[in-house]
Amino acid sequence: MLRFPAIFQSLGTSELPLSLSISRSNLRKSLPKLSECLVGLMNYTKLTAPSYKSLLSDHLKNQNLDQARRVFNEIPFPGVDLYTMMVIGYARMRRLDNALELFYEMPEKDAVSWNSMIKGCLDCGDLSKAKELFDGMPGKSVVSWTTIMNGFLQFGDVEMAERLFREMPVRDVAVWNSMIHGYFSNGRVEDAKKLFKVMHCKNVISWTSMIGGLDRIGRTDEALQFFREMMGSGVQPTLTTLVCVVTASAKLLRLDLGVQIHGQIVKLGYCFDEFVAASFITLYANCKQMENSYSVFNASLHKNVVVWTALLTGCGLNCQHEDALTIFRNMLKSGVLPNQSSFTSALNSCCGLEDLERGKEIQTSAVKLGFETDVFVGNSLIVLYTKCGSINDGVAIFKRIGDKNIVSWNSTIVGCAQHGCGMWALTLFNQMIRAGLEPDEITFTGLLSACSHSGMLQKARRFFEYFSQRKSVEVKLEHYACMVDVLARCGELEEAEELIKNMPVQANKTVWLTLLGACTMHCNFDVAERAAKRIEDLDPHCSAAYVLLSNLYASANRWSDVSRIREKMKQSRTVKQPGYSWVT
DNA sequence: GTAGGGTTAG
């Protein structure tokens, strides 16, 4: 029931059912009055339409869908705009059935309502319904074509998107920009670059799409090149462009560029929105300027979960783990709900502190919020548990992760290796290959380390051969160092020495120290002396080398050699570093 | 204040 203004009181009622069900006799009596009334009603709706609209909009903004629907139901003749608002509201709350029901109910539909409904289907994950509506839509606009094309790009069907792109009757700059962005999100970098090159109506969004897209796939240098080119061509960057550039600068530790942009933004009088704040916090943290990160954080107006997490992560990155955990607590206190990233960083800081107890507390909160099976949170938990001595718990977490990535597999393999569970590591590797994942440098290191800790020389040789043949993996110094370690631990000292001499990368002190350490285990004086000589060439003040060699002589009662080494050490003013240990 | 294009943290 609606309460109508005074004009309707002449009908004998101030309340009218919306269906206007009036008895026949009454109707005859009231006909002249009724016509007067209908004119009034029309005027009334016109007059009050904006207030309905703002009331509806308030409820929709506050996500009070059912409240909004009650208001909507009270509107005598809702216009296409109000219908559209409701349809969008339902779609945003993932209530696609309600949205569609209302959409079909609409007495008239314009391009906006059609396009909103198509977009709503896509947001709710129903591509085929979206396509069905698109096909049935009369008078498709360029927005309709863009929306459905974006849908196919979102769902990974690049070919269909390309077909739509070719077939659409009008292509404005937004369509081109969408296609460029879609190519990037589907890993088709070269196609994106090609399209950008041939497009004749580039605007700042086209440029920003290139900069952001290239940075996201790790071609950050190239992203900054595009930024330079854009500035050269006289296109003015927007705040979004600058956020992309700051993000890229943070990755490349280009503090100079970041600071320059910071100055520009301050000069232009932009306030630090959440995107700007988060990117600058990360830039300064990566460049080891936490004071500046804090300043940006304090200056930012809306501290959302991303801004808090950027600061928390920055602290962790700079080994300020206690501060990181304080920030995590303060974030909870201020009523911001942590997400996967916040938990990941908080857990990483627990790991940095080797504080399993606090890690478990945070894990409990993560479980309550349903993040335990998240791949990032899970990966952090694997490292935390394996580093803090609990390989079984680490493996249990690994098994629970829903969508394991390469980091999940690597962390578990490395954890097993560190715990001397060499066979587990090898089993995991086989499972990983069967699961269709491509092993990388870290997998390789983990496997060699597993072989080393479990004394599996033949297996290590096979892995070394396997990975040397794979083009996707670059064999680095650390891999040679691991292989030297396996050989040397197993007593193959000469072979280890040959490997160091013949490897294509320059050996460092650590590799030779590995060999020297193994020589003392196996009492091999010849190789030990040669290794010590190499270390001396690389670092004349390496106390570890002197100590190892001296211990080797001492173990064979060669006391004159021991005092010779001690004398040499004294002459070169080398002092043995004292050992430290700590207990929590 | 009702439709399509670029952005932040792990």
The verdict on residue A258 lying in a domain is yes
pLDDT recorded at residue A531: 87
- Give the closest nucleotide to A118 (alpha carbon vs C1'): B3
Of A137, A135, A189, A138, nearest to A160 by C-alpha is A135
The verdict on residue A147 lying in a domain is no
Q: A251, A218 in Cβ contact below 8 A?
A: no
The verdict on residue A211 lying in a domain is yes
pLDDT recorded at residue A46: 47
The verdict on residue A316 lying in a domain is no
pLDDT recorded at residue A544: 87
Closest protein CA to C1' of nucleotide B7, residue: A240
Global confidence as pTM: 0.83
pLDDT recorded at residue A519: 85
- The angle subtended at Cα A270 by Cα A267 and Cα A273, nearest 5°, is 140
Give the distance, in angstroms, between residue A41 CA and nucleotide B6 C1': 46
pLDDT recorded at residue A552: 82
The verdict on residue A411 lying in a domain is no
From residues 141-160 of A, list those within 7 angstroms of strand B by Cβ.
141-144, 146-147, 150
Using the CB atom, is residue A283 less than 7 Å from strand B?
A: no
pLDDT recorded at residue A580: 72
- Size of chain A, expressed as the number of residues it contains: 584
CB under 8 Å to A202, separation ≥6 — which residues?
A: A173, A196, A235
Using the CB atom, is residue A90 less than 7 Å from strand B?
A: no
Q: Which residues of chain A, if any, have pLDDT below 70?
A: 1-50, 581-584
Residue A237: give the domain boundaries: 202-302
pLDDT recorded at residue A508: 87
Q: A483, A447 in Cβ contact below 8 A?
A: no
Q: A268, A294 in Cβ contact below 8 A?
A: no
The verdict on residue A475 lying in a domain is no
Name residue, tokens 């960083």. A345
The verdict on residue A206 lying in a domain is yes
CB under 8 Å to A431, separation ≥6 — which residues?
A: none
The verdict on residue A476 lying in a domain is no
pLDDT recorded at residue A463: 86
Quote the number of domains for chain A: 1
A482/A485 Cα distance (integer angstroms): 5
